[in-house]
Amino acid sequence: MSAVMMDGKALAAKVKEGVRNQVEAFRSRPGLAVVLVGDDPASRVYVNGKKKDCAECGIYSEEYHLPQEATQAQLLELVRTLNEREEMDGILVQLPLPAHLDEREVLLAIRPDKDVDCFHPFNVGQLMIGEQSFQPCTPAGVMRMLEEYGIDPAGKHCVVVGRSNIVGKPQAMLMLQKNATVTICHTRTRNLKEMCLQADILVAAAGRAGLITADMVKEGAVVVDVAMNRNEAGKLCGDVDPAAAQRASYMTPVPGGVGPMTRAMLMENTLTAARLHGKQ
Ligand code: NAP
């Protein structure tokens, strides 16, 4: 068997086109503020990508770039100002922040109805009880991709490798909402291979190149590789050995799988925020 490769790039383009069409019908334009602190090159690339996505979707965006040595008070003040600005439906503070800043306090300061990353504890709680306005972008992108390919998690055993607050845990929660039976694995899990071999849907989000070898994938399983690692040659790769495609029924490529979907979901969340603010 050779897996169907799930095309996140094409689907993300379709999602963004859908956002653009909806934006056109809004009474006033949705807006997204992107805050970047410091000069981390990877963060710069992500911020540029988000601005480009906004332009493509007809979403108004503003970028705020604070210097590396910005203080906690300056950053909090900026967030408070953006909280009050009606043009800005969403506020995204690009992570990671420089080490001297308190990430948690900053995320808490973002108004939950503008928290398009879905990192505020209020929104995390809403997700837990299934009443969320926003869904965290990466796990939401995974769910959308499964839907597009007609894969219903109901009754399936989903094994999520990774338990971070931004990927693993919310991914497990969204799978549960779709009636999957969920197992979460992490560094203290005993016999990861045995766990993975039980998965009808395997979501790899450990950030360890080569962690999931082909012999850890059940014949016919759906394999979603969230990770973005660099291999020894400096090439972008996931956690899953590409040879697993010989056993999987569906699989996501890296790059071109979950990454583009994450960006598209941010646009959808911005639209949701604008709806919350009565702009439709
Ligand atoms: P993270 O915060 O470092 O969390 C990694 C998780 O994987 C942890 O829970 C860790 O377990 C677990 N883990 C690490 N090594 C493991 C091992 N050998 N066996 C079992 N579990 C292991 O990372 P993250 O932010 O969730 O990101 C995960 C990956 O997804 C990264 O490659 C990141 O670049 C990628 N990512 C991609 C997107 C996208 O848009 N495609 C978005 C976000 C993240 P412990 O908790 O026990 O330490």
Domain ranges of the chain: 28-113, 136-259
Q: CB within 8 A of 255, min separation 6: which ones?
A: 228, 236
What is the fold, at CATH topology level, of the domain defined by 28-113?
Answer: Rossmann fold (3.40.50)
Q: Specify whether 50 is catalytic.
A: yes
* Ligand 1 mean position, distance from CA 164 (Å): 6
Catalytic annotation present for 94: yes
The CATH H-level (homologous superfamily) assignment of domain 136-259 is: NAD(P)-binding Rossmann-like Domain (3.40.50.720)
CA–CA distance, 217 with 203 (Å, rounded to integer): 11
Is 200 considered catalytic here?
A: no
Distance CA 244, CA 251 (A): 8
d(CA 246, ligand 1 centre) in Å:
24
Residue owning tokens 């956002």: 19
Tens digits of residue pLDDT in 50-85: 999 999 999 999 999 999 999 999 999 999 999 999
> Among 148, 221, 142, which residue's Cα sits nearest to residue 177?
142
Distance 160 CA to ligand 1 centre (A): 10
**Cβ-contact 134, 270 below 8 angstroms:** no
Looking at residue 232, what is its pLDDT?
Answer: 87
Neighbouring C-beta atoms of residue 69, cutoff 10 Å:
10
* pTM summary value: 0.97
CB 229 within 8 A of CB 209: yes
Q: Which tens digits make up the pLDDT trace of 136-153?
A: 999 999 999 999 999 999
Q: How far is CA 272 from CA 28, 42, 114, 203, 253, in A?
A: 13, 27, 9, 26, 28
Q: Pick from 236, 276, 249, 231: which is nearest to 45 by CA?
A: 236
Q: Identify the pLDDT of residue 13.
A: 98
28-113 against 136-259: fold identical: yes
Closest ligand 1 atom to 258 CA = 41
Measure Cα distances from 86 to 54, 91, 92, 187, 276 in Å: 17, 11, 15, 44, 12
Q: In the chain, which stretches have pLDDT less than 70?
A: none
Helix (H) or strand (E) holding 42: helix 41-57
Catalytic residue among 115, 117, 225, 239: 117
What are the tokens at 201? 């849907």
